[in-house]
Amino acid sequence: MGEEYYNNYSNNDIEGQPVPEGPSQKKQRKSKEKKPMTTGRKWASVIAMGLVFGLVAGGTMFGVDAAAERVTGIGRSNLQLAQTQATDSSGSAASSSDSQGTVAEVAQNAMPSLVTISTMSVEEMRNFFGGTQQYEVEGAGTGVIVGENDTELLIATNYHVVEGANSLSVGFIDEESVEAEVKGTDVDNDLAVVSVKLSDIPDDTMNQIKIATVGDSDELQLGDQVVAIGNALGYGQSVTSGYVSALDRDLTLTYEDGTTINSTGLIQTDAAINSGNSGGALLNMQGELIGINEAKSSNTSSGASVDNIGFAIPIDKAQSSLQEMMNLETREKVDADQASYLGIQGSDVSAEVSELYGVPSGVVVVDVVEDGPAAEAGMQKGDVITELDGRSISSMEQLQQVLQYYAAGEKVDVIVQRSDNGGYQEQTMSVTLGSAADVQNR
């Protein structure tokens, strides 16, 4: 069980339906004036990010033990996933077999759909005198442009890329960097959607980027050639190529906060996937998105090094989750005077407890604050919180992060699993969040 938590803070949600037009077709929109960045400043930023990322690479990866392998996450740091056919010059659909390209052609066509993701998070480290000190840590990952709605560009990535991020920015193919927000997360499937305001993207950048074309990962066969693109080591987008080595692989992944998940049905490839590639694209030779790069193997349980074993989440598996997150309302963190609380004391449900006793993964309610928001909604000791306002909850740390986007007085639906005759039954409760300031003044 993890540490107990009492006062929760709040703020984030998402909304907006993707529209069929691509970024290059959206001609009438205002672009925000941005202070130009000189070439020297851009290079200095890139080099600094690379150096910091190298120093804190351990903080941007997560350890994994699965079977006889040691697997690590890669990186740190809305989607109208409609499957599209390639078209010839006359505009008619072309068959996949006729549209295969070289690695160079696939990369060239896909690059406008790829972004770099840079994050800033706070980590606590022990200092020389035995105490602890907080440090800002920069991370790097990758994302794929998968959709657009009336106000936002929507980008798919891994959850572990944005986990714990206090702020994040997205870099496009023309090296333009724009602030972004986490629109939604799916902890159980290691997926997330990041949004960028269209008004923040310069017109020149909009004319160069595009939404990725989505393929059919269910059609993959052993030996199919694939291309992986990602922000390797935080240095910028790089291209590797290889083959599908295996299908339907399962891995056990552990996030930085200690949460463990089982990532199933993965594509295994020998295309080199390195730190920073997380959230990047795995493409077939038609240039279609067939997977989201997730992890690589580093060594076996005996310590022997392992090369050329990487894993990606099949796009057919990710599609429904990404679509749900794309339809959420995008939120921003609330100010301190609006901070909210749920009114519980809770602990993480460890993977061992979940497996041994059949307790659902989430946050178990250790106690309910008398007359608090949770108590008034009917929450009880022993309930396991698994979802808040459509966002999956797997740990106390994540619950606290999610609540930072919700203001006191807001009403949210909370899903709990309640013990019933040896099993668990799902219940949805409408909770009006309380004011954290009121708790502090008690």
- Beta-ladder partners of 313: 292
Extents of the domains making up the chain: 23-82+96-323, 336-440
Tokens of 152: 């936002």
pLDDT band at residue 277 under the 50/70/90 scheme: confident
Q: Which residue is it, tokens 């006793």?
A: 357
Higher-pLDDT residue of 391, 195: 195
User: Is the model's pLDDT at 1 over the cut of 50?
Assistant: no
Instruction: Determine the average pLDDT of the residues in 341-356.
Output: 83
The predicted pLDDT at position 130 comes to: 67
The predicted pLDDT at position 51 comes to: 38
Higher-pLDDT residue of 10, 297: 297
Q: Which residue is it, tokens 């724009």?
A: 178
Closest CA relative to residue 118, chosen from 39, 239, 236: 236
In contact, 384 and 363? CB cutoff 8 Å: yes
Q: Is residue 278 annotated as part of the catalytic site, yes or no? A: yes
What does the pLDDT look like over 45-64, one tens digit per residue?
443 444 333 333 333 333 32
Catalytic residue among 13, 113, 121, 160: 160
Higher-pLDDT residue of 105, 67: 105
Output the CATH code of domain 336-440. 2.30.42.10
The predicted pLDDT at position 98 comes to: 52
The predicted pLDDT at position 29 comes to: 43
Catalytic residue among 121, 263, 278, 321: 278
Least confident of 37-46, 166-175, 219-228, 293-302: 37-46
Least confident of 81-90, 149-158, 348-357, 430-439: 81-90
The predicted pLDDT at position 127 comes to: 63
The predicted pLDDT at position 61 comes to: 37
Higher-pLDDT residue of 24, 211: 211
CA distance 36 to 46: 16
Q: Report the topology of domain 23-82+96-323.
A: Thrombin, subunit H (2.40.10)
User: Is the model's pLDDT at 202 over the cut of 80?
Assistant: yes
Catalytic residue among 190, 270, 316, 389: 190
How high does pLDDT run on average in the chain? 77
The predicted pLDDT at position 442 comes to: 60
Q: Which residues lie below 8 Å from residue 132, measured CB to CB, with a gap of 6+?
A: 124, 125, 126
Determine the Cα angle at 193 with ends 189 and 196, to 5°: 170
